[in-house]
Every structure is written in structure tokens, then in C-alpha cells.
Amino acid sequence: MAKPAEKLKALELRRTGASNKEIAEKLHVSRSAVSLWVRDVPLTDTQRLQLRANQIAGGHIGRIKGAEKNHAMRLDRVRFASKEANEMFEQISIDQLFYLGLGLYWGEGTKAESSREVSVTNSDPRVLQTMIRWFTECLDIELERLHPRIFISDTHREREEVLLDFWEKALDIPRDKFKRTIFLPKGKKIYENHDMYYGVLTLRVSRGGDVRNKILASISRIAELTTILPM
């Protein structure tokens, strides 16, 4: 049954251009009741346009709030994952480092039989920092035998000092151990992160023949133990 006082107030508000939602919130009644009460109240073109603008604005605010909520949820998941990782890996043993480095070399290292080189290539300083520890701590290779070389597009030639400075600090390897920077032919594509890109770095072990066989044999044995062969 309609409530006369609320219905009269709803009609009054509707004539001012208020939306059904606004009327329902002010009168503390359902939107379906408001819709029924005011369905015959005509709106001017200006009022209809304003209501539409308000709906769009409200939707935009709703999307912002939704995005903020999703972002907060993602941050919570990241924090939870980080907490789990910290609890799982309080420290890394030499055995864990060996297998981690072996896996990285399997993916990023030189393995071609036609080459006797021992080297690993990546653009992530963390990967290369890990491989330096692997070479020196697990394979007993002296730091002096590690020689980095930068590979990057010729469009970065004027930034060579910046590149060398970045990698020298990131890897804590003296500049005189770096091999000549290789500038690759220019491509057509222009990257927005031009001044934040530091190229790909190859970390080579000089006189690496003494460890190459050990590395490749270890990879081959791991492959045998983990690969499921067809019956």
C-alpha cells in the first residue's frame, strides 16, 4: 500500500529532476516503490540529460572504487605470497644455490657442442648476480676470470658510459674486466623506455673448459632423472 506522505514527497522530488535512487535514499523506501509512484511525472530534456550525466559520473566513481578495491586485494595477495616466501626461504644453502644456478645455466647458458665457451646471457641484473655467486661459490671460479660484455642496439651508442656504469655497479665487477660493448644494427622500432634500458649482458668465464664438462654433464644427468620418456 502506498504511503501518501512519502509518495507526495517523491513526486515533488521527481519534478525537480531527482533520480529514483536519490529519492529512495532520502525517503528510506525501496527504489521499486519510487519507480511506481513517479512513473507518470514528465521530465524536461535538461533534467533527463542531467540524470544521464549523473549516471555516467556515478558509474565512473563506481569503476574507480572497484579498481581501488581490486588493487588493494592484489597488494594483499602479493604481501601474503612474500610472507610465505620469506618463511620458506630464510636462507639459501650452497646445494640450493648449485641447483638454482644449474637451472639458470640450462636456460640461459652456452651449451652448443660447437662452442667451448662457458657463458650466460640475460638482461636481469639479479640473474647475473646469482650466476656470479654460482660460478665463484659452487664452481670455485675466481672472480678475475669473469668477463662481462654488453649487447645493445646502436641507438644507445651515446649512452655507453651510462651502460657500463650501470652494469659495473650492478655486478660489482671492475670496468677493466668488461669486454668491448657490441652495438647491434638499429631496428625500426622506437622504445619508450630508451633511457631506462641497459641492454643484454653476457657473462663469460675465461679458460672455462675445465668446468664446461661438469656443467653439461650435470645438466644431462638432471634431464635424465626428470624427463619422462615415451614407453
The answer to whether residue 136 scores a pLDDT higher than 90 is: yes
State which amino acid sits at residue 90.
E
Bridge partners for 95 per DSSP = none
Residue 1: per-residue pLDDT: 43
Q: How many CB atoms lie within 10 A of CB 214?
A: 11
Nearest residue to 121 via CA among 148, 144, 160: 148
Q: Domain locations in the chain? A: 4-42, 94-226
Contact 34, 27 (CB under 8 A): yes
Separation of alpha carbons 16 and 23, rounded Å: 11
Separation of alpha carbons 53 and 45, rounded Å: 12
- Tens digit of each residue's pLDDT (9 = 90 or more) over 169-203: 999 999 999 999 999 997 766 667 888 999 999 99
Q: How many CB atoms lie within 10 A of CB 128?
A: 23
Mark out the alpha helices in 89-190 (DSSP H runs): 94-108, 125-133, 160-171
Parallel, antiparallel or unpaired: strands 118-122 and 200-205: antiparallel
- Tens digit of each residue's pLDDT (9 = 90 or more) over 7-56: 888 888 888 878 888 888 888 888 888 888 878 788 787 878 887 877 77
C-alpha cell at position 7:
509518495
Parallel, antiparallel or unpaired: strands 182-184 and 146-153: parallel
The answer to whether residue 204 scores a pLDDT higher than 80 is: yes
Q: Which residue reads 678475475 in cell numbers?
A: 144
Q: Which residue reads 658510459 in cell numbers?
A: 161
